[in-house]
Amino acid sequence: MLKIALPKGRLGDKVYKLFEGAGYACPELLTDSRKLIFTAADGRFCFMTVKPSDVPTYVERGAADIGVAGKDTVLEAGADIYELCDLGVGKCRMAVCGRPEGLSELGVPLKVATKFPHIAERYFAGLGRRIDVIKLSGSIELAPVIGLSDVIVDLVETGSTLRENNLEVLAVIHPISARLIANKSGYQFKRGEIDALVGKLRGRERT
Amino acid sequence: MAEFFSDLTREERLPLVLTRLFEGYGYRRFRMSKFETYDIYNRHRNFIDGAGVVTFTDTDGRLMALKPDVTLSIAAGAGDVESEKKVYYFESIFRRDRNGELKELPQTGIECIGGDSAYAVYEAVSLALRSLKAIGGETMLTVGNLDFAQSFPAFSVLSAAEKKQAVREIGAKNFHGLSELAARSGVAEAEVDALAAAVSLTGGAEEVLERARLLAKNEAGRLALADTAALFAALSAAGLGQSVNLDFSLTNDLSYYNGIVFQGYVRGLPRAVLSGGQYDNMMRRLGKSMPAVGFALQLGELARIFVSEAETDCDVLLEYGDAPLCEVIRASDKLVEKGLRVRCVKTDPGGIRYTEKTVLSAGKGRA
């Protein structure tokens, strides 16, 4: 049986529709159930719904054979997994944002507020800039407004939150979208099943 | 010996079977100290992923390291003469994991340095397959050839930093990301597609090789495929063609590895338990121009599949109550001599898993 980890929430609902369209339906998932595991009627596969940022962990450790995770969580987790296809949903950008003067060189480490410390560290290390990472879990945009940080590293979809807080995108780090990821060991033993699923999802993508 | 052997659990048997296997093909045991000077690991930090090395200072001020790797020590110690060095080892290495936690990782492996490359590579791959078989259960070895991807113009024109990124994307089967990367650096779309098609080939060797031959662009590519085909032909001639796949997305650090690389998986374990390949490039970096190949098997990872096996804690639970000590000893020794696993308790505390329970009562022996 193919074990599939889906992210809870808005992205998960969108992604489930893709799976449904590809012939992997499990209508129970859409009901207001408190269940976390949903097995298909024919027992071919099951879905588990987990916190989006945990999907790479479930997949890397083999609790799920495959899963759907945003490129942001894949990059942040740095997990040793296969990234089999870009599902093309949940599109946004990982970006450095702040006031236009936020990135100016001051001779002291740049203060960066973010939910994604690894991505921020890797990006600025690549530029040769020292940073002081401030890990936050929400309302990141507030940090540069009140002087907690010089800039932020965060996901930008439409940019309206930024504009309302007089912030702008200073540099795009990576385009983000939902990816189908797979456990490396699980793939060796279930390659047929997984490739078939990827083929069907890709087919849908084009139509 | 044979009698004892059958009493051992699968976990206890494995090192004996592997020792026999490696010795059988002419490998000698290699032993090393738990710590070495940090210098050598620092110079080759990419090979061993140097970030995780555990260091400490010696009394004379030298920076030392708990050994994070065995291959490098064997390779550095190999003589400059053309003679062949074949060794195997059972050693623990020490690393910090992604969260900075200190880990002891027991592993075994072989290294073959010098000698004829084609046979040595076959032998290493065949021993990897036989080692996986010795573990038991359903296993799979995936074999790749780094020279194939490198033969494509779309790969060879990339800068060193881009190549590193490309290797990461290929290893993650992120062909979409690979295409984006190559396109960004100005490679023509047709070339990018050819590379992506080549590294996405995976499956049974015959089928993959047939499709790969249609994609090979030049002499280097055809040569890589010929080497790979020869290896798989040798494996099936030896009756080892089962449970092995060809996967051109399998990669490793190009500054150390070259040619054939491979990884072994056990069903039910989430990570590769075995990894190896040719590392002529590392030998060159060490100033020795000779071919080398080897692999390491992570014994610690395997503990997980063996744990579930020991279904009982003992064969006989000997509950002796108020029986005199000499009676208890006589009864238990007799059972142990028969080859049974005996646990003596005054009263059954519960929770011990046994096949049979014997109760001694005062002055009577068996009740």
Please tell me the distance from the alpha carbon of residue A123 to that of residue A107, in angstroms, as a whole number: 18
Q: Can you read off the two tokens belonging to residue B334? A: 């007799």
Mean confidence (pLDDT) of chain A: 91
| Chain B interface includes A130 (CB < 8 A) | no
Lowest mean pLDDT among A46-50, A185-189, B7-11: B7-11
**B29 with B89: CB under 8 angstroms?**
yes
Structural domain of residue B21, as residue ranges? 2-137+252-307
Interface touch A184/B265, C-beta < 8 Å? yes
Q: What is the pLDDT of residue A31?
A: 79
For residue range B263-296, list pLDDT tens digits in order. 999 999 999 999 999 999 999 988 888 999 999 9
| DSSP state string for B52-91 | G-EEEE-TTS-EEEE---SHHHHHHHS-SSS--EEEEEEE
Give yes or no for a contact between B124 and B295, defined as CB atoms under 8 angstroms apart: yes
Secondary structure (3-state) at B193 = helix
What confidence score (pLDDT) does residue B106 get? 94
Q: In Å, how far is A32's CA from the nearest CA of chain B? A: 32
| Mean per-residue pLDDT, A137-163 | 93
Residue B35 has pLDDT above 60, yes or no: yes
Question: Which of the listed residues B291, B307, B323 is the one where a domain comes to its end?
Answer: B307
Residues of A in contact with B269 (CB under 8 A): 62, 185
In a domain, B66, yes or no: yes
Considering CB atoms only, which of B138, B268, B270 is closest to A61? Answer: B270
Residues of chain B found within 8 Å of residue A182, distances taken between Cβ atoms: 173
Cα B357 from Cα B319, distance rounded (Å): 7
Number of domains in chain B: 2
In a domain, residue B215? The reply is: no
| Phi, psi dihedrals of residue A133, rounded to the nearest 5° | -85, 130
Confidence of residue B310 (pLDDT cuts 50, 70, 90): low
Q: What is the topology classification, in CATH, of domain A2-90+177-206?
A: D-Maltodextrin-Binding Protein; domain 2 (3.40.190)
pLDDT of residue B367: 42
Q: Which residues of B41-72 are buried (b: 16+ CB within 10 A; e: fewer)?
A: beebeebbebebbbeeeeeeeeebbbbbbbbb
pLDDT for position A52:
93
- ipTM for the whole predicted complex goes beyond 0.85: yes
Does residue A206 carry a pLDDT above 60? no
Return the pLDDT at B309.
60
Closest CB from A83, A183, A188 relative to B142: A188
Task: Using DSSP bridges, classify how beta strands A45-50 and A37-39 pair: parallel, antiparallel or unpaired.
Answer: antiparallel
Residue B350, pLDDT score: 86
- Note the pLDDT of residue B365: 45
Answer yes or no: do B174 and A83 touch at CB < 8 A. Answer: yes
Q: How far apart are CA B335 and CA B315, in angstroms?
A: 10
Q: Which of B286, B307, B328 marks a domain boundary?
A: B307
Tens digits of residue pLDDT in B317-343: 999 999 999 999 999 999 999 888 899
Residue A10: partners with Cβ closer than 8 Å, 6 or more residues away = none
Is pLDDT larger for residue A26 or for residue B262? B262
Q: Is B28 a domain residue?
A: yes
Name the residue of chain A whose CA is nearest to B271's CA.
A185
Kindly report, residue by residue over B230-245, the tens digit of the pLDDT.
999 999 999 999 999 9
Interchain contact A81–B (C-beta under 8 A): yes
Q: What is the mean pLDDT of residues A155-160?
A: 92
pLDDT digits over A50-106, tens only?
Answer: 999 999 999 999 999 999 999 999 999 989 999 999 999 999 999 999 998 888 877
A65 burial via Cβ count (<10 Å: 0-12, 13-18, 19+): buried
| Closest residue in B to A179 (Cα–Cα) | B174
Q: How far apart are CA B162 and CA B155, in angstroms?
A: 9
C-alpha span between A15 and A5 (Å, rounded) = 11
Instruction: With CB atoms and an 8 Å threshold, state whether B172 touches A78.
Output: no
B70 shares its domain with B38:
yes
CB contact under 8 A, A188 and B174: no
Q: Could B270 and A183 be called an inter-chain contact, meaning their C-beta atoms sit closer than 8 Å?
A: yes
Are B298 and B345 found together in one domain?
A: no
Render pLDDT for B171-218 as a digit per residue (tens, 0 to 9): 999 998 999 898 888 888 889 999 999 999 999 999 999 999 999 989
pLDDT of residue B81: 62
Q: How confident is the model at residue B305 (pLDDT cuts 50, 70, 90)?
A: confident
CATH of the domain at B9: 3.30.930.10
Q: Could you give the percent of chain B with pLDDT greater than 90?
A: 58
Contacts of A189 in chain B (CB under 8 A): 138, 140, 265, 267
Report the phi/psi class of residue A152: left, alpha or beta, with left for phi > 0 and alpha for psi in -120 to 50: beta
- Contact assessment for residue A26 and residue A47, using Cβ atoms and an 8 Å cutoff: yes
Tokens of A41: 């009627």
What does the block give as tokens for A167? 């912030």
Task: Say whether pLDDT at A205 is over 60.
Answer: no
The reported pLDDT for the residue numbered B286 is 87
pLDDT at residue B89 is higher than 90: yes
Question: In B, which residues are within 8 Å of A67 by CB distance?
Answer: none
Q: Is the pLDDT of residue A10 over 60?
A: yes
B241 in a structural domain: no
- Residue ranges covered by each domain of chain A: 2-90+177-206, 92-175
Residue B2 confidence (pLDDT) above 80 = no
Instruction: Please tell me the predicted confidence (pLDDT) of residue B82.
Output: 62
Q: Does A184 contact B at CB distance below 8 Å?
A: yes
What are the tens digits of pLDDT across the range A114-124?
999 999 999 99
Give the torsion sign (CA, B297, B298, B301, B303).
positive
Q: How far does Cα A56 stand from its chain's mean position?
A: 9
What's the pLDDT score for residue B308? 63
Least confident piece of the model among B210-214, B256-260, B308-312: B308-312
B186: left (phi over 0), alpha (psi -120 to 50) or beta: left
A31-35, A198-202, B163-167: least confident range: A31-35
Cβ contacts of B129 on chain A, cutoff 8 Å = none
pLDDT-derived band at A207 (thresholds 50, 70, 90) equals very low
CB pairs under 8 A between A and B: 45
On whether the CB atoms of residues B148 and B202 are closer than 8 A, the answer is no
**CATH among 3.90.600.10, 3.40.190.10, 2.40.50.100, 3.20.19.10 for A92-175:** 3.40.190.10
> Concatenated DSSP letters for chain A?
-EEEEEESSHHHHHHHHHHHHTT---GGGGSS---SEEE-TTSSEEEEEE-GGGHHHHHHTTSSSEEEEEHHHHHHHT---EEEEE---S-EEEEEEE-GGGG---SSPEEEEES-HHHHHHHHHHHT--EEEEE-SS-TTHHHHTTS-SEEEEEESSSHHHHHTT-EEEEEEEEE-EEEEE-HHHHHHSHHHHHHHHHHHHHHHH-
Asked if the structure places residue B197 within a domain, the reply is no
